[in-house]
Structures are given as C-alpha cells and as structure tokens.
Amino acid sequence: MSAKPLVAAEGAPGLDVFECARAFLGIARELANASGVCIGLEGSVTHLLTHYTGEDRSVLIRELQHLDVLNQLLVSLSSYASVLGSQCIAGVPLDIDGASQELGLARVAARLRELEDRDSADRVSDSGEMDLL
C-alpha cells in the first residue's frame, strides 16, 4: 500500500501536522509509561511465583503470561504511534501500512493496516470519534 496524505474530511477544519505529531508522540509516551507499569507488575507476579507453592500456582503462571502479552502490545502500539508522529514531523504522508510493518504482533499489525483499506467515512463514527481498533 502506498502512503496517503493526511487530509481533513470535507467541511472539517484543516489538520495541523504539528498538533497531530504532538498527539501521536504523546500517546506513544503514555503507552511507554503503561508498559513500565506492566513490567513492574510482571516483576511482582514473578516474585510471588518464586515464593508460592500452592495448588493454584498455575493461575499465577497464566497471569504472568497475560502480563507479558499486554506489555508486548503496549510496546508495539507505542512504537507505532511514535513512527506516525515522526512521519507528521517530517511532513510526509502518513504511511499506516509502513508503520505497522514494524509491529511484532501480527494480529495487531493486520488490524492497523486495515485502517488504510477503509474509506475515511468508515473510520469516523457518528459521535465524531475515530474507530482505531
């Protein structure tokens, strides 16, 4: 897929690429912060796991695996938002497909690439909010 220029919907005010960049980079930073919290939780669960020998120990192991998946998702989305923010700063058309190529989670990357295939009218709900996932 080729990159598409960032354009506003008909009748909408023009887009400020620096505001878009600031938004994407802010989201990236917050997702990275959430990842840090997740890593702390993983450490706590690991500590509990090393000191717990109860029958339901497998539940802790499963929850530790869920935290790992969550952290991978947060890191991937943070990277994705950062790439899009960098594209805005560079003044190049947003390349959703290219940005999602770097994601380590195939299903997430596929969902994000689907955005480029949708018409812009499909991306905006009646409430005016963008449906990302």
Checking if the pLDDT of 8 tops 60, the result is: no
Checking if the pLDDT of 54 tops 60, the result is: yes
Please write the tens of the pLDDT for every residue from 59-106: 888 888 989 989 999 998 999 999 999 988 888 888 888 887 777 667
2 torsion bin: left (phi>0), alpha (psi -120 to 50), beta (else)? beta
**Exposure of 69 by Cβ count < 10 A (0-12 exposed, 13-18 middle, 19+ buried)?**
exposed
Residue-level pLDDT at 127: 45
Residues 6+ apart with CB under 8 A from 117: 1
Mean pLDDT rounded to a whole number for the chain: 77
- What's the mean pLDDT in 28-46? 94
Q: How many residues does the chain have?
A: 133
Distance CA 108, CA 95 (A): 16
- What's the mean pLDDT in 113-118? 63
Residue-level pLDDT at 115: 60
Checking if the pLDDT of 38 tops 90, the result is: yes
Checking if the pLDDT of 122 tops 80, the result is: no
In the structure encoding, which two tokens stand for residue 15, read together? 């887009």
The domain segmentation of the chain, as residue ranges, is 17-119
Map tokens 């943070």 to a residue. Answer: 78
DSSP 56: T
Residue-level pLDDT at 81: 93
